[in-house]
Amino acid sequence: MYPQNFYYTRDHEWVRVEGDVAIVGITDYAQKQLGDIVYIELPALGTHLEVHQSIGSIESVKAVSDVFSPVSGEVIEVNEELNNSPEVINQDPYDKGWIIKIRMKNKEDLNQLMTASEYEKYVESLEV
């Protein structure tokens, strides 16, 4: 359910690392909690992000939530497809539903994140 080689945050973002680039999305748990996503606000290319800075917001039928940057760095690509088809996040949160790519400033930011098994335990601990 949670890809093994990814990193995870307490706010339910995931990170996949490719060299010094972090690809960021939200987890399957997050998309289920949000329900049908209807709109996503994406940051401008070149935006410099600090850890836990808001990178935009996701609007579902139920609520609007911020998405936070798990790492610091510069936005080098955003998933333009989400502008027209935000439902991709619901359908495929770990692959086609990626949100942004960040060129990391400090790879050590990753040490603060959870592994798949830690995240799984964390989700179980959240009472519904």
Residues contributing to the site for other proteins (CB under 8 A) = 33, 36, 38-39, 59, 61-63, 86-87, 127-128
CB 51 within 8 A of CB 111: no
The b/e string for 37-48 (b: 16+ C-beta within 10 A; e otherwise) is beebebbeeebe
CA atoms within 13 A on the CB side of 5: 5
Structure tokens at 83: 């502008």
CB 36 within 8 A of CB 59: no
Tell the smallest beta-carbon distance from residue 50 to other proteins (Å).
14
